[in-house]
Amino acid sequence: MGLASVLVYLHEECGNPVVHRDVKPNNVMLDSEFNAYLGDFGLARLVRSDTSVMTMVAGTIGYLAPEVTYTGRATPESDVYSFGMVVIEVVCGKRSQWMMDENSLVDYVWELYEKGEILNCVDRTLAGKYNSDEVRRTLMVGLACLHPGSKFRPTMRKVVQVFMNPEEPLMSVPLSRPMVVSLSFSSSTTNSTGVADSGGSMQSFPEEMTITRNASCSDE
């Protein structure tokens, strides 16, 4: 809740929006009452003219949103993806492996969710001593934030509303893990983009590119 509130402030409340670009557990500090603070703003950037910051790819592997690795564009939505990874790690009590590794933490949680067994991923050191409804909602928030399509991720304000109010409707989460990454490009930087179809020919798409991931890969 504390980390989500910080990101709401950065994205919506501090004048020009700020993208942190390196949201991860190592950059979250806790005080004596376990209130969360976000540190290390060395990679943070102001968002001035549009909704993204065009820059060299920067951040920590495993917490980078898929579109950042393809385009170098950091957005509030890419911070949301990183937040989702933090949520999953905290609830599971495990560190994420690199996205290209097999059997990554994200794969593990998605597989359990698809089987209707999502609570089986909860940190075993808790020995079942937790509110199952709260944990289930928190995991659903994490999965929603980890959607590979940036347009489908919730805002951090919606995340805070879900955490604060148990009656707040959850954001929509697909029944199975999405396998498509949608990339949007500003017309000022490119007129069109292309991806190869199954036959190897190129198809052009104005201002947006959709990449279908190979189902045999954990994440691309």
Instruction: Indicate whether 209 belongs to any domain.
Output: no
Count other Cβ atoms within 10 Å, centred on residue 197. Answer: 9
**Residues assigned a catalytic role:** 22
How many Å is the Cα radius of gyration of the chain? 18
pLDDT of residue 46: 79
The overall average pLDDT reported for the chain is: 79
Mean pLDDT, residues 78-83 taken together: 95
pLDDT value of residue 98: 53
pLDDT of residue 218: 38
The answer to whether position 109 is within a domain reads yes
What's the domain count of the chain? 1
**Interaxial angle between packed helices 76-92 and 105-114, expressed in degrees from 0 to 180 and rounded to the nearest 10:** 80
Residue 200 domain flag: no
- pLDDT for position 123: 96
Q: Which of 11-25, 50-64, 200-214 has the highest mean pLDDT?
A: 11-25
Q: How far from 209 is each of 41, 132, 151, 205, CA to CA, in Å?
A: 30, 39, 13, 6
- Residue in 83, 101, 103, 79 with CA at minimum distance from that of residue 91: 83
* 198 falls within a domain: no
In this prediction, residues 118-125 reach a mean pLDDT of 96
In a domain, 19, yes or no: yes
Q: What pLDDT score was predicted for residue 48?
A: 67
pTM of the model: 0.77
* Residue ranges making up the domain that contains 56: 2-178
| CATH code of residue 35 | 1.10.510.10
Read off the pLDDT band of 10 (50, 70, 90).
very high
Mean pLDDT for 109-137 is 95
